[in-house]
Structure 1
Amino acid sequence: MPTPPPETSPTSRFQEKQDAVLAAAARHFNAQGVKGATLGGIAASVGLVTTSVTYYYRKKEDLATACFLRAIAAHEALARQAAGAGTVAERLSAFVQGLAGMVAGIETGARPTLILFNDLRALPQPQEAEVFGAYTDMFRRVRALFMGPETAAWSRADLNARTHLLVSTAHWMRAWLPRFEPERAPVGATRVTELLLRGLGGAARAWQDPPAGDQAALLGSGDATEEAFLRAATELVNEQGYRGASVDRISARLNLTKGWFYHHNHNKCDVIAACFERSFSVVRRALAEAEAAGGSGWQRAARAAAAVLCFQLSGQGPLLRGSATSALPDPAQRERVSLDTQRLTERLASLLVDGMVDGSVRPLDPGMAAQLLLAQLNAASELRRWVPSARAENVVGLYLRPALCGLLCEA
Structure 2
Amino acid sequence: MDDTFLAPTPDNSDRFLRKRDEIVTAAAAQIARRGLKGLTLVGVAQMVGLNTTSITYYFKRKELLASAAMEDALARFAAILSPEAAPKADPRAYLGAALARNSAYCAAIRRGEAAPLTILSDMRALDEPDRTRLIAAYFRLVAQVATRFGPAADPDQKARNIARAQLFCDMLHWSRSWLELYAEADFPRVEARLRDLLSHGFARPGAPWTPEVFPVDPEGPEPVAISADTYLRIATRLINERGYRGASVERIVAQLQVSKGSFYHHLSGKDDLVTACFDRSYSRVTATQHRAIALQGDQWHRLTSALASLLEVQFAGHLPLLRDTAMLALPPDIRPHVTRRSDRLARRFAGMISDGIAEGSVRAVDPTIAAQCLMGMVNSAADMAPRVSRWPSRAAAIRDYAGPLAYGFFD
TM-score by length of 1: 0.90
Distance in 1 between residues matched to 2:313 and 2:119, nearest whole Å = 26
**Pair 1:134-2:137 in alignment:** yes
Counterpart residue number, 1:335:
336
**Pair 1:97-2:134 in alignment:** no
Distance in 1 between residues matched to 2:116 and 2:335, nearest whole Å = 22
Distance in 1 between residues matched to 2:168 and 2:24, nearest whole Å = 26
Residue 247 of structure 1 and its aligned partner are, at CA, apart by: 1.6
**Pair 1:27-2:26 in alignment:** no
Quick one: which of 285, 288, 305 aligns to 1:283?
A: 285
2:34 touches 2:332 (CA, 8 Å); kept in 1? no
Residue 24 of structure 1 and its aligned partner are, at CA, apart by: 0.5
Counterpart residue number, 2:322:
320
Distance in 2 between residues matched to 1:132 and 1:273, nearest whole Å = 26
Counterpart residue number, 2:382:
381
Distance in 1 between residues matched to 2:277 and 2:43, nearest whole Å = 29
1:384-404: per-residue Cα shift (whole Å, max 9, x none)?
Answer: 355554674443212122221
Residue 308 of structure 1 and its aligned partner are, at CA, apart by: 1.2
Residue 115 of structure 1 and its aligned partner are, at CA, apart by: 5.1
Counterpart residue number, 1:250:
252
Distance in 1 between residues matched to 2:231 and 2:275, nearest whole Å = 13
**Pair 1:263-2:265 in alignment:** yes
Distance in 2 between residues matched to 1:236 and 1:364, nearest whole Å = 36
Distance in 1 between residues matched to 2:138 and 2:222, nearest whole Å = 39
Deviates more, 1:280-289 or 1:119-128: 119-128
2:357 touches 2:364 (CA, 8 Å); kept in 1? yes
Residue 363 of structure 1 and its aligned partner are, at CA, apart by: 0.9
Distance in 2 between residues matched to 1:229 and 1:342, nearest whole Å = 26
Distance in 1 between residues matched to 2:355 and 2:340, nearest whole Å = 23
Are the structure 2 counterparts of residues 8 and 126 from structure 1 closer, same or farther at C-alpha, using a change threshold of 3 Å? farther
1:107 touches 1:182 (CA, 8 Å); kept in 2? yes
Counterpart residue number, 1:111:
114
Q: Which amino acid aligns with 2:353?
A: L
1:156-203: per-residue Cα shift (whole Å, max 9, x none)?
Answer: 221111111101111112222243333432322221122112111112
1:96 touches 1:189 (CA, 8 Å); kept in 2? yes
Unmatched segments (≥5 aa) in structure 2: none
Counterpart residue number, 1:365:
366
1:57 touches 1:63 (CA, 8 Å); kept in 2? yes
Distance in 1 between residues matched to 2:251 and 2:278, nearest whole Å = 19
2:147 touches 2:161 (CA, 8 Å); kept in 1? no
Counterpart residue number, 2:124:
121
Counterpart residue number, 2:14:
12
Residue 382 of structure 1 and its aligned partner are, at CA, apart by: 1.3
Q: Secondary structure at the match of 1:116?
A: helix
Residue 337 of structure 1 and its aligned partner are, at CA, apart by: 1.5
Deviates more, 1:98-107 or 1:112-121: 112-121
RMSD: 2.5
Q: Secondary structure at the match of 1:313?
A: helix
Q: Which amino acid aligns with 1:301?
A: L
Distance in 1 between residues matched to 2:11 and 2:309, nearest whole Å = 56
Are the structure 2 counterparts of residues 249 and 112 from structure 1 closer, same or farther at C-alpha, using a change threshold of 3 Å? closer
Distance in 1 between residues matched to 2:314 and 2:136, nearest whole Å = 25
**Pair 1:346-2:347 in alignment:** yes
**Pair 1:405-2:402 in alignment:** no
Residue 48 of structure 1 and its aligned partner are, at CA, apart by: 2.0
1:169 touches 1:375 (CA, 8 Å); kept in 2? yes
Unmatched segments (≥5 aa) in structure 1: none
Q: Which runs of 4+ in 1 moved over 4 A?
A: 151-154, 219-225, 385-388, 390-393
Deviates more, 1:191-200 or 1:312-321: 312-321
Counterpart residue number, 2:148:
145
1:168 touches 1:375 (CA, 8 Å); kept in 2? yes
What is the 5 A alignment of 1:292-303? 292-303=294-305
Q: Percent identity?
A: 35
Are the structure 2 counterparts of residues 199 and 82 from structure 1 closer, same or farther at C-alpha, using a change threshold of 3 Å? farther
Residue 241 of structure 1 and its aligned partner are, at CA, apart by: 2.3
TM-score by length of 2: 0.90
